[in-house]
């Protein structure tokens, strides 16, 4: 059976934390679709098109990443539309669990065939979040350890710290 799993998130921007989960997921599933939520309520710094492009560049080396799409819908409806019944979520610490349990339950209620699969973040990246990285960048701290090279440049450029 050919299984496509969806890895959803806001990816504002994609970090080594996300890449850790995506890379490991590509070894489990035949095909990965990365679904990038518009998520206006989070007031993303990168627009959806930019987040898709940065994610595309950051995952070029991963053959099983077959599709990267933006969405503005319920995640469960998107999974149904994409004919996928597996959702991947990364769990960094115990504090992520509460939210993830609720999200998985809601998604299952909307689309009962949908299974949420949780991968534990590797400990080296388990403290990363996109917000932390953006905050460090705003104060001109070193964000190199957290982001792929192109994403690092794009964030500095977005914050007007780097002009080509």
Q: Are 120 and 91 in contact (CB under 8 A)?
A: yes
Q: How far is the CB of 18 from ligand COA (least distance, A)?
A: 5
Quote the distance between the C-alpha of residue 148 and its chain's center: 14
Catalytic residue numbers? 18, 42, 92, 130
Count other C-beta atoms under 10 Å from residue 134's C-beta: 18
C-beta closer to ligand COA: residue 100 or 150: 100
C-beta closer to ligand COA: residue 24 or 31: 24
Site for ligand COA in 111-150 (CB under 6 A): 121, 125, 128-131
C-beta closer to ligand COA: residue 101 or 106: 106
Rule CB under 6 A: is residue 93 a binding residue for ligand COA? no
Residue 131, marked binder? yes
The strand pairing partners of 90, in sequence order, are: 119
Rule CB under 6 A: is residue 74 a binding residue for ligand COA? yes
Q: Are 20 and 90 in contact (CB under 8 A)?
A: yes
Rule CB under 6 A: is residue 13 a binding residue for ligand COA? no
Q: Which of 65, 71, 40, 60 is nearest to 151 (CA)?
A: 60
Site for ligand COA in 16-35 (CB under 6 A): 17-18, 21
Non-local CB neighbours of 117 within 8 Å, separated by 6+ positions: 5, 86, 87, 88, 89
Of these, 5, 8, 59, 86, which contacts ligand COA (CB under 6 A)? 8
Tell me the pairing of strands 65-71 and 115-120: unpaired
Q: Which spans of this chain sit near ligand COA (rule: CB under 6 A)?
A: 8-10, 12, 15, 17-18, 21, 37, 39, 74-75, 90, 92, 103, 106, 121, 125, 128-131
């Amino acid at each position: 059976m050919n299984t496509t799993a969806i890895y959803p998130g806001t990816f504002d921007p994609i970090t080594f934390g996300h890449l850790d989960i995506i890379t490991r997921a590509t070894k489990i599933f035949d095909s990965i679709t990365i679904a990038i939520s518009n998520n206006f309520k989070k007031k993303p710094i990168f627009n959806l098109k930019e987040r898709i492009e940065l994610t595309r560049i950051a995952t070029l080396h991963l053959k099983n990443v077959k599709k990267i799409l933006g969405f503005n819908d319920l995640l469960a409806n998107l999974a149904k539309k994409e004919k996928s019944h597996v959702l991947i979520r990364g769990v960094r610490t115990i504090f992520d669990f509460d939210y993830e349990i609720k999200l998985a339950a809601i998604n299952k209620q909307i689309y009962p065939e949908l299974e949420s699969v949780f991968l534990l973040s590797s400990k080296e990246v388990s403290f990363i979040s996109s917000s932390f990285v953006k905050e460090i960048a705003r104060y001109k701290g070193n964000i190199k350890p957290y982001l792929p090279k192109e994403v690092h440049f794009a964030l500095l450029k977005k914050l007007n710290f780097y002009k080509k």
